[in-house]
Amino acid sequence: MPNNVKILLVDDNPMVLAMLRDALSPLATVSTAGDGADALLKAIDESPDLVISDYRMPGMDGRQLVEKLRSRSSTAAIGVILLASKSDISERLALHEQAADDLLEKPFFLREATQRIKRVIDKIALEKMSRSSSSDGVVRGNLAQMNVVDLVQSLEMGRKSCLLTLTRERERCEMYFRDGQVSHATYGPLAGDGAVFKVLRWAGGNFQIDFEAKTTKQSTTLNTQGLLMEGLRLLDEERHESGSSAGEEDDVLLDS
């Protein structure tokens, strides 16, 4: 089920537009535009949280679209990802550091691009949840909305300092973050890296994020990305040993 993040996709290639829309629709509410001028009007009218636009388009290109968005108070804060070739990034966009929040180099594989964009979507979703949090300043939700890996990656991307508490029936895991890095974690008798690895297996449960909670304890030995990579490697290893690994569909390479 898509969350409350709104995305505007912009590309003059109908096939690329359709494939990106289909890939991202399970993750967010997606609208589309076939050129920069149409995208600008829709951005003003619909107020998306994120614009994902091709750089090379006839008429108003992606960089000009970003400049128009940034020049208006109502659209200046919209996040932007530009899809551009390596040469365009190095020769043109490098001169305009504020042209976009992120650049996705073309050609790209659809699955890889979707995973990268999903991290941005999760970060935006978490920020929106934070703004609408309860009076005590604690964000609450369930892992059907955002799983453990997505939560941890979002807190890392946002460089958050907080306490993430995960609960499932009688089980409880606490993870303290400092500037996006997991500094201390506990799960029953486990502490540190092992506590994080254990909770990555959860497929359900609830979470709450307290942005006021802090600790001086340091029990983890890896940074956040290292914890996730090693935890997922261990989980994948277990699945292979139990014969439960599933095959993946062929990926699609998208260009202009």
State the pLDDT confidence band at 201, using cuts at 50, 70 and 90. Answer: confident
Comparing CA positions, the residue from 93, 95, 77, 73 lying closest to residue 85 is 93
- Please report, for residues 5, 27, 122, the alpha-carbon distance to residue 2 in angstroms, rounded to integers and kept in the order given: 8, 4, 11
Q: Does domain 6-125 have CATH number 3.40.50.300?
A: no
pLDDT in tens, 26-77: 999 999 999 999 999 999 999 999 999 999 999 998 889 999 999 999 999 9
Q: Average pLDDT, stretch 228-244? A: 83
pLDDT, tens digit (0-9, with 9 covering 90-100), for 74-90: 999 999 999 988 888 77
- Identify the band that residue 217 occupies on the pLDDT scale cut at 50, 70 and 90: very high
Residues 6 or more apart in contact with residue 83 via CB below 8 angstroms: 11, 52, 53, 54, 55, 62, 104, 106, 108
Percent of residues in the chain assigned helix, strand, coil, to nearest 5: 40, 25, 35
Residue 1 — pLDDT band, cuts 50, 70, 90?
very low
pLDDT at 248 over 60: no
| 226 vs 235: CA distance, rounded Å | 14
Q: What pLDDT score was predicted for residue 126?
A: 86
> Does the pLDDT value for residue 246 go beyond 70?
no
- Lowest mean pLDDT across 96-105, 196-205, 231-240: 96-105
pLDDT in tens, 12-31: 999 999 999 999 999 999 99
d(CA 210, CA 174): 11
Domain boundaries, the chain: 6-125, 135-242
* Furthest CA-CA distance within the chain: 62
Q: What is the mean pLDDT of residues 107-133?
A: 87
Residue type, 235: L
Q: What are phi and psi of 165, to 5 degrees?
A: -110, 125
- Give the model's confidence band at 135: pLDDT under 50 very low, under 70 low, under 90 confident, else very high: low
96: confidence class by pLDDT, cuts 50, 70, 90? low
Supply the pLDDT for residue 91. 65
